[in-house]
Amino acid sequence: MKQLVVILASFLIASGLQVINTIIIERSMGIEAVGQYGVFLSTIMMLAVVFQFGLRDFATLHYVNNSSSSKNISALLRAAVFVCTSMCVILAAFQKQGDLSLGAFQFLLENFLSISLSVLVLVLSNFLSGVAIANRDFLSLGYFRDYGRHLATFFLIMLFFLVPSLKEYFYLGWGLIFLFLSLTFSYRYSSVLKEAFMGPGRFVAAFKKSVAFYVNDLILNVIALGDVILLAFFLGAEDLGIYFICSRIAVLMNVFLTLVSSHNSPALAKLIVNGEHSVSIEIMSLTSKMLSFISVPLVFLVIVFSADLLLFWDVDERYGLVLEILFLGRFFNVLTGNVGKYLIYSEKRRIEVLNNTISFTLMILLIAGLVPWYGIIGAAVANSLGLIVLNIVKYVEFKTFFSSGYIGITQIYYTVLLAFSYCLFKLVGDSLNPVVLSLVFLVFYLGLTVSIAKRDIINYLNLINAHKKTVLVE
């Protein structure tokens, strides 16, 4: 239970910092700055995934199995550092051209050294997050995977209030602060990092083993981050800022999914590798039930208060529909759970890569087809529809491969309650006080579901504790 609390705290810190950072940036620098920050953060995170060659998931399986050989890890890590260094040189060469323009991505050329440093630190953080998962070190995992980059932004913004002239050095300041924080949090893993970097190994042989992790991780992050990056070509800075704000609020839906997935990943990896699918499917089922129970009131409250939420950023209430669409899409994602990770652990990696490739292609087509006509609303529809289609396909494949499903009457029951409450709100919501309406809903919902949820949570914790991995790094 203590581990769940630690994971939940790190995700709440990450989500809270994302929201707070966008509020402060909007209030001090304008909505356009929020859009520019969104493009910057999404771009460096995407570049870090491109350059890490599947290190994170590969490291998790490597250390969870306590492998004695680190040559594959070493080769991948050295290659990642080399590519980040090469990127710095290439960007410097292009920057000297002078007349080259990258539009919304011009910051890559103008701040090539800072960007390269930031990407390198993100790559190392991704690697250490994989090590932390394997070691069930959720305190370190919280920083490496969840809130490290957002903490750097928060400290930088606070520094701007003390010295306003430093706003001109945003990218350099962010990179240096992130480097300092990462060095601090990674100190206990310095020996692991040194051993991994200095070990033998050839890149080609290592990449053959990690390529499935790499491609899958790449496409998943393209799906998660690609909307902001692609929208930079279609929307102005103001509209992009509004969309980025809505998408950061919608990240709240991922908190509990990532929380539970982080908690059960070591047990799932162990069970799946050992072929114990009946137990692992039961964990997937209990996870889906718990996440559905938690997500229904969250979605409903966002629907009720969407317009009021956006007032924190001085965003017009008509964009509340964007929030509703994004949250409904993510609810479906939560309902199916982390099915993609299950396919990867069970050697169905090529299938998962194909799934995510199709989803990425669909997202591009939807954005290109909807955004020019419907703007931000079209972007939200493209994002949510892509998620829904992807998860339907994955779940059908899961049932086909393992002759069993994990979504049953309990999840359907929760979904029906959400649909009924949503329709009722749309019919009578304008005539009722939103606070009173929310309280009535919570009493009604908890009265119908809390006994079921309590049973599922107890069964989940008992099952996970029965298959808990020991800590590898003290």
- State CA 149 to chain mean position distance: 13
* Residues 456/287, Cβ–Cβ less than 8 Å: no
Does an H or E element contain 361, and which? helix 349-402
Rounded to the nearest 10 degrees, the angle between the axes of helix 434-466 and helix 252-273 is 20
Each residue of 369-414: pLDDT tens digit? 999 999 999 999 998 998 898 889 889 988 888 888 899 999 999 9
Predicted pLDDT at 470: 35
CA distance 197 to 346: 28
Predicted pLDDT at 97: 73
Task: Using the structure block, give the residue that is written with the tokens 């020996």.
Answer: 191
Residues in the chain predicted with pLDDT less than 70, given as ranges, are 1, 3-4, 65-71, 98-102, 262, 429, 468-474
Each residue of 43-54: pLDDT tens digit? 999 999 999 888
Predicted pLDDT at 471: 34
* Residues 71/199, Cβ–Cβ less than 8 Å: yes
Task: Using the structure block, give the residue that is written with the tokens 């809505």.
Answer: 246
